[in-house]
Structure 1
Amino acid sequence: MTTKDNGKAPTLKQFLQVVPVGPNEWESVYGGCVLALCVSAAFASLPTNDAGRIYDVYSVLGTFLGPTSTKTKLRFTVEDIRTTKSFATRKVEVWQEFPDGNGSGTTSRRRTMIQLVDFHVREPATSVLSGMTYSKRPLHPESCCDDPDALISQDQYLTENQTSAISKQFHHVFPLFFRYLDMKPIPESMGVAKALGLNSAVRTSQDDLPLQQRTNAHWWRIKEVKGGGGMLTTPGERAAAVAFFDAVSAVSTLEFSLRFFSPPNPNEWLLHEQHTENAGMGRTFSTGRVWDKDGKCVASMSQQSIMRAKAEREGAKL
Structure 2
Amino acid sequence: MAKRVTLFEPPPLDPSKAPIENVLELTPVLDIGPDVFTNTRPLWHPPGARGIYGGAAIAQSLAAAQRTVPANFFVHSMHCYFVLAGDSEIPILYHVERVRDGKSFATRTVQARQRGRPIFTTTLSFSREGSGGKKTIEHAVPMPDVQLPPPEDNPFLKRLSNSGESGPFESRRAGILNRNSPHPTDKRIRQFNRCRGQISAEGGHQAHLSALAYITDSYFIGTVARVHDIPRFSSPAALQRALKALKNPSDLDDDTIANYLKDLAEEETAELRSRLEGALSKAQNSDKEVGMMVSLDHTIYFHNPSAFRADEWMLNEMESPWSGEGRGLVTQNIWSKDGVLIATCIQEGLIRLKQDDKKEDSGKTRASKL
Instruction: With the length of structure 1 as denominator, give the TM-score of the two structures.
Output: 0.72
Residues 183-233 of structure 1 show CA distances to partners (whole Å, capped at 9, x for unaligned) of 3421x326xxxxxxxxxxxxxx61225211212212222211xxx676783
Q: Does 1:147 pair with 2:148?
A: yes
Aligned to 1:189: 176
What secondary structure does 1:308 align onto?
strand
Q: In 2 relative to 1, CA 254–229 (structure 1 residues): closer, same or farther, beyond 3 Å?
A: closer
Q: Which amino acid aligns with 1:189?
A: I
TM-superposed CA distance for 1:62, in Å, is 1.0
Q: Which 5+ residue runs of structure 1 have no aligned equivalent?
A: 49-53, 98-108, 160-166, 191-204
- Percent identity reads 19
Q: Highest Rg: 1 or 2?
A: 2
1:104-158: CA deviation from partner (whole Å, max 9, x where unpaired):
xxxxx211011001001112685333xx2220135xx4xx4213154556x6326
Q: 1:126 to 1:22 in 2, by over 3 A?
A: closer
How far 1:239 sits from its partner (Å)? 1.1
Cα distance in 2 for partners of 1:123, 1:94 equals 31
1:43 equivalent to 2:50? Answer no
Determine the C-alpha separation between the residues in 1 that align with 2:61 and 2:13: 26
Q: Which moved more, 1:117-126 or 1:235-244?
A: 117-126
Are the counterparts in 1 of residues 50 and 85 from structure 2 also a CA contact under 8 Å? no
**Which of 301, 313, 321 is matched with 1:259 structurally?**
301
TM-superposition CA deviations, 1:237-288 (whole Å, max 9, x none): 1111111111123641101211011114212221111111111111000011
Quote the offset at 1:7 in angstroms: 9.7
Match of 2:185 among 198, 203, 212: 212
**Equivalence map 1:160-171=2 (5 Å):** none
Name the CA shift for 1:158/1:208 in 2 (closer, same or farther; >3 Å). farther
Alignment match, 1:307:
351
Cα 1:84–1:7 shift into 2, 3 Å: closer
What CA distance in whole angstroms lies between the structure 2 residues aligned with 1:125 and 1:87?
11
Pick aligned residue for 1:284 from 325, 328, 352: 328
2: CA distance, partners of 1:14 / 1:135: 33
- Structure 1 residues 306 and 125, CA, compared in 2 at 3 Å: closer, same or farther? closer
Name which of 87, 91, 101 aligns with 1:73.
91
Change (3 A) 1:5 1:233: closer
* 1:117 and 2:159 are equivalent in the alignment: no
Whole-angstrom CA distance in 2 between matches of 1:81 and 1:117: 10
The one-letter code matched in structure 1 to 2:114 is Q
Q: Tell me the distance in 1 between the aligned counterparts of 2:94 and 2:164.
A: 23
Paired residues of 2:98 and 2:109 also in contact (CA < 8 A): yes
The CA distance in 2 between the partners of 1:5 and 1:126, in whole Å, is 43
For normalisation by structure 2, the TM-score amounts to: 0.63
CA contact (8 A) 1:221 1:268 kept: yes
Shift of 1:298: 0.8
Contact 1:288–1:300 under 8 Å retained in 2? yes
1:298 aligns with 2:298: no
The answer as to 2:39 corresponding to 1:21 is no
Distance 1:176 1:39, change over 3 A: farther
Q: Deviations along 1:67-118, whole A, 9 cap, x unmatched?
A: 0001111001000110011000000000001xxxxxxxxxxx2110110010
Aligned-partner residue type, residue 113 of structure 2: W
Deviation at 1:22, TM superposition (A): 2.5
Q: Aligned to 1:248, what secondary structure does the other structure show?
A: coil
SS of the residue corresponding to residue 14 of structure 1 reads helix
Aligned to 2:215: 245
Q: Deviations over 1:26-68 (max 9, x none)?
A: 46211011110000011011135xxxxx112100001111100
Instruction: Tell me if structure 2 keeps the 8 A contact 1:40–1:236.
Output: yes
- Cross-structure match for 2:36: none
The answer to whether the 8 Å contact 1:20/1:33 transfers is no
Is residue 315 of structure 2 the alignment partner of residue 271 of structure 1? yes
1:134 is aligned to 139
Change (3 A) 1:36 1:124: closer
- Name which of structure 1's ranges 234-243 and 274-283 shifts more when overlaid on structure 2: 234-243
In structure 1, distance between residues paired with 2:13 and 2:309: 29
On the 8 A contact 1:232/1:267 being kept in 2, the answer is no
SS in 1 for 2:109: strand
Q: How many Å separate the matches in 2 of 1:232 and 1:290?
A: 25
Unaligned ranges ≥5, structure 2: 1-5, 26-39, 223-292, 359-370
Number of residue-to-residue matches in the alignment: 260
**2:199 corresponds to 1:222:** no
